[in-house]
Structure 1
């Protein structure tokens, strides 16, 4: 039989995964040793807002990612329950839960990648800007924690309105003296995922065989699919272009209305966020040729932030691709997108500077 001290230590390790106590209460059982035997090497990932509609499926999918060795789940409510649930999955990532503002710093310490889906969801009739007053404050608080506890982490911002929350994050990091534009990315992958799906439907292809660049921002007319640059190379009628552009720009509203007040695009957003997070982790690992669309600090246009194709690497964004040749329809769409984006960016900047 095993000595009782060994058994007690094993039980303590399990408890520490689910609800980590203060370090002063742990004795020799430090958090970094609370690892399942045989856990794979990989990256430490924090999900802020892990108990929400996006956060829960996002956390589940990140637990399945073989590049994740430690997964920290933070929220202001229900984090212990989500953590207990996900921790039962037989994958190698170790899961730890953190509840409330008092545990935010513990949740963030040592993270390589931080994903922020925290905030309130859209409801019928709401625009992304309607979410601003609530979500802006949430993103500000979380980014202050990041600046203090893991300033070198790659940060993926999902909280809407992304067009404004990424500039908010940038201003917080500037104030803290930790801003690195290469490490701050707004997640617009859902627009790409939708574009690939809808275009594949029109072309009769498998969506996994389709690649549609989507540039601009992450709301309404700021979402600009470049259908002239679709791979495999394809041509569309004007009617198809109007249909596809409108559906891609309003995909979120389509889901909100279909759910009839019961939620927004949580499952597809979680899928897209994990697809993008995986690309960031592969970049951190040093994989070559990792290119995705993201909303980042950019000189592609005169705007300080813009979504376009970027190459990801060990330092985050290592190259920002030019837009490439645009047709007349896309040039007109770009002007509409820039006009709308300019106001959203300034709104985010002013929230911190005022």
Structure 2
């Protein structure tokens, strides 16, 4: 029996993500948690003729604990979008607080769950999650993932457009670093099967992968962000974890992880000087079985991108760790 949880299931990412997970034959029980509307979302999805039994929970009567209890996999897209007049710091403090609270509950009632953090800023929320789990004595770095799959999905799509490939999903485009702006480093030199990116299109393509979210915000006229593509990316990563748990071999996907706790991670930590970093991760029954070092023989252009990413990530990670230990007083 596999129990999956979506925390933030009523939101713009949470609803389509819950739909996709309801369709997965690998899930037997799907628990939806949010501060509003989850019974309605669950009732709607329960009419779909797939095998996952579904239930919606609200904060009342310890709903989060009931939703999370004994979960095998918890996916967290919870958080609020930035509203007019709200500073980035305000937004950070709210979303960081939401993630911290959810991880505290997970640590208590589902200490062995695989935790997939989608809530932005991932570069900071994953370090927060790690610190909370450490404080509770249940941290296992192989089971905590920052979902950066949307960057990979975008890279596959945009490279396929330039290269004239009709099946983007057949490309493997490693994207490393973090999950915002210049911390996102696409390694076009390591695409398989190999694709040559014309020099005159390289910078624009890098920029599009790094700031693809802005395209969506602009197209939605400021009324939303990348929710549907993010839901797909979250589902794609969650499904790979579930397939790995089922014993399938050869599953690799980049993810933002705590390097020292993942086999192979120390080598990458030494090269970057960072505790957290997104690299291709070989998935297996234990979760992150191996971090794959793709930093060797990268191009000069990629080295420049990597340097900028490392600088940005230092501050992001520090911000998360500081918040976990000293959250602002309400």
TM-score, normalised relative to structure 1: 0.86
The alignment status of 1:326 with 2:298, answered yes or no, reads yes
Aligned to 2:273: 302
SS of corresponding position for 1:178: coil
State the match for 2:322 in structure 1.
350
Q: Note the alpha carbon deviations across 1:37-68, whole angstroms, 9 max, x for none.
A: xxxxx411000000000000000000000000
TM-score scaled to structure 2, two decimals? Answer: 0.92
Question: 1:47 — aligned with what?
Answer: 6
> 2:54 aligned with 1:95, yes or no?
yes
Aligned counterpart in structure 2 of residue 77 of structure 1, from 18, 21, 36 = 36
Match in the other structure for 2:136: 176
Partner of 2:231: 270
Unaligned runs of 5+ in 2: 260-265
Residue equivalent to 1:203: 163
Matched residue SS, 1:166: helix
The CA RMSD measured in Å over matched residues stands at: 1.5
Instruction: Determine helix, strand or coil for the equivalent of 1:292.
Output: strand
Partner of 2:176: 215
Partner of 1:37: none
Identify the range of structure 1 (93-102 vs 266-275) with the bigger mean alpha-carbon deviation.
93-102
Residues 129-208 of structure 1 mapped to structure 2, 5 A cutoff: 131-205=91-165, 206-208=167-169
CA contact (8 A) 1:128 1:160 kept: no
Q: Distance in 1 between matches of 2:300 and 2:70?
A: 48
Map of 2:283 onto structure 1: 312
Structure having the higher Rg: 1
Alpha-carbon shift at residue 237 of structure 1 (Å): 2.2
How many residues matched? 313
Q: Do the aligned residues in 1 keep the contact of 2:162 with 2:197 (CA within 8 Å)?
A: no
Query: How has the CA–CA distance of structure 1 residues 261 and 218 changed in structure 2, closer, same or farther, with 3 Å as cutoff?
Result: same
Sort the Cα spacing of 1:219 and 1:130 in 2 relative to 1 into closer, same or farther, 3 A: farther
CA distance in 2, matches of 1:239, 1:286: 44
Q: How far, CA to CA, are the matches of 1:242 and 1:220 in structure 2? A: 14
Q: Which whole-Å CA distance do the structure 1 matches of 2:90 and 2:203 have between them?
A: 26
What secondary structure does 2:28 align onto?
Answer: strand
Instruction: Report the Cα distance in structure 2 between the residues aligned to 1:209 and 1:125, rounded to whole angstroms.
Output: 43
* Matches of 2:222 and 2:306, distance apart in 1: 32
Aligned position for 1:11? none
Shift of 1:132: 1.1
Distance in structure 2 (CA, Å) of the matches to 1:228 and 1:173: 37
For 1:206-231, what per-residue CA distance to the aligned partner results, in whole angstroms no more than 9, with x for missing partners? Answer: 21221110000000000000000111
The alpha carbon displacement at 1:325 in A equals: 2.0
